[in-house]
Structure 1
């Protein structure tokens, strides 16, 4: 079983959980060069996050650097050729689904059908309250939003949806997406998120589940899915460094020659994972681009079940 691999881009979101120090002084040129490197190296996707505004109580941990995913991915679509464009994840409950559909349908149209729309419930109460959205109902609203987006991102110029939170028909939107079916991947690892992915999604984006927790989550997904319809199962790997780092990269980081890394990562495929999101320890843009290139040329080809 082969593994696709993608990357959450640096710079565009700078939570202290994962941002490297050099990103604080980086900007659009760095973002473009990293995306181009991933495109050249055969990565399946590049990803951007979504937050509208961060309250002061969370700013020290999350930072306030969160590029808008639609603007960011559209910009990167114009400077890349084949890599897919993933919103990981869009908090679509903050916006009316027709607004979301207009933005992402245009992105898919402009990029020639490279969009993957990852969605999540969101967790920052103040964002919801300030935008006039009920934080306590965000799960139910997301469930309905997925149904509404299925209609609004489908082939019909005049989509229709009738639900508790949203009701529309007779309103035309063009351009339509280039893809016949825009993939909707559901993010999150709570029981509600796993159920949502199984019942309504085309894919699942876990929120950092450790390896020992993934088999149980995947078993639940398959059981709830039931009908055998394809579902792209994802995983976020440990931090990686191809080769011997020569500097302190942290005890959780997987390091070593390509064969060692590939052997470790193939364990994800054995669990039933279809795509992995990788992240590289790095001290500057150049080192990150080197790591992306090494992974694509030396590790990636070993992730097809062979060695």
Structure 2
């Protein structure tokens, strides 16, 4: 099976400066044969808002899937977000994938606070938000969930595709695995061990069965941070610099939480192949480089090595 290959757009402002170059980056990825281009979401640190970013890319690209990795719906009014996502689905002619999440403990609480949304019951709120979006796209005029309830909904923008864009779930906690299998169209975790990925995917598929969903109802994907370099030790130093700049954490800590790999092309390709052997069908790669020039160099290299087949 051929693995689909995606790339995350550069994030920190020192990686782009002129934001229009991010559009050029996405166009370049499409020309290099990438299958998807992704934007992420946070209120911590400067970046272009992901839905605005994907709107710009929707008319500049023709083929690639455009995705969020990961969108945090709690920061947006849910009815308005449904209209924004439906609009993106139209602008991209049905190329949108929306990965959602509820944030990361120890990091996201302040984002919830400034968004005036309670941190408590965030998972129920997330699932309700997604269900509300799907109801609005289908033309329903009322919604009653566990957290969100609307007796009267306005007529909303229908999605380009019947049922709306695919909605994936980020995360690999036991509750996330169960909810991914039962409610979502895809699963985008970042476990640091391929064995954990294999076990997690088995749980997702096990949860899909009682919901009367087919085994292939959930697209198995992987979010992975990569750096291709002939200097393995230098690569780990660059990963450390990237983790410090991105999270304020050393690489030694971040690598226990997220899938990360640096080293020669053969080593990177072999690591990615272990995840595809564990079931990952769509790799979303984040390049661990702190300048746009380095990101572009890596983009070219990665395009030639990161398509393992099995």
- Shorter-chain TM range is 0.7 to 0.9
**Counterpart pick for 2:193 among 207, 210, 225:** 210
**Counterpart pick for 2:302 among 270, 295, 298:** 295
3-state SS of the aligned residue for 1:249? helix
Cα RMSD after superposing both structures: 2.5
**Counterpart pick for 1:232 among 209, 219, 226:** 219
Q: Cα deviations across residues 21-43 of structure 1 (Å, max 9, x unaligned)?
A: x52x6331331221111111222
* Contact residue 185 and residue 202 of structure 1 kept, 8 A: yes
Q: In 2, distance between residues paired with 1:65 and 1:209?
A: 27
Q: In 1, distance between residues paired with 2:103 and 2:189?
A: 14
**Counterpart pick for 1:29 among 6, 16, 20:** 20
Q: In 1, distance between residues paired with 2:262 and 2:233?
A: 13
Q: In 1, distance between residues paired with 2:49 and 2:100?
A: 14
Query: Cα gap change, 1:180/1:236 in structure 2, threshold over 3 Å: closer, same or farther?
Result: same
Q: In 1, distance between residues paired with 2:192 and 2:24?
A: 29
Instruction: Indicate the residue corresponding to 2:79 in structure 1.
Output: 98
**Pairing of 1:47-58 with structure 2 (within 5 A):** 47-51=38-42, 53-54=43-44
Deviation at 1:190, TM superposition (A): 1.6
Q: Cα deviations across residues 169-189 of structure 1 (Å, max 9, x unaligned)?
A: 452123x22222310001112
Q: In 1, distance between residues paired with 2:50 and 2:72?
A: 10
3-state SS of the aligned residue for 2:236? coil
Deviation at 1:261, TM superposition (A): 4.2
* Contact residue 141 and residue 155 of structure 2 kept, 8 A: yes
**Pairing of 1:151-162 with structure 2 (within 5 A):** 151-154=135-138, 156=139, 158-162=140-144
**Counterpart pick for 1:255 among 234, 254, 263:** 263
* Contact residue 170 and residue 187 of structure 2 kept, 8 A: yes
Deviation at 1:10, TM superposition (A): 0.5
Query: Cα gap change, 1:134/1:178 in structure 2, threshold over 3 Å: closer, same or farther?
Result: same
Query: Cα gap change, 1:272/1:303 in structure 2, threshold over 3 Å: closer, same or farther?
Result: same
Q: In 2, distance between residues paired with 1:261 and 1:131?
A: 39
Deviation at 1:115, TM superposition (A): 0.8
Is 1:130–2:114 an aligned residue pair?
yes
Q: In 1, distance between residues paired with 2:186 and 2:296?
A: 28
Aligned positions, number: 279
Query: Cα gap change, 1:284/1:135 in structure 2, threshold over 3 Å: closer, same or farther?
Result: closer
Deviation at 1:262, TM superposition (A): 3.5
TM-score, with length taken from structure 2: 0.80
Is 1:115–2:96 an aligned residue pair?
yes
Q: Cα deviations across residues 155-178 of structure 1 (Å, max 9, x unaligned)?
A: x3x55422242225452123x222
Q: In 2, distance between residues paired with 1:214 and 1:172?
A: 41
Instruction: Indicate the residue corresponding to 2:5 in structure 1.
Output: 5
Deviation beyond 6 Å, 4+ runs, structure 1: none
Query: Cα gap change, 1:285/1:93 in structure 2, threshold over 3 Å: closer, same or farther?
Result: closer
Instruction: Indicate the residue corresponding to 1:219 in structure 2.
Output: 202
**Counterpart pick for 2:281 among 247, 270, 274:** 274
* Contact residue 8 and residue 284 of structure 2 kept, 8 A: yes
TM-score, with length taken from structure 1: 0.81
Question: Structure 2: which 5+ residue stretches go unaligned?
Answer: 238-259
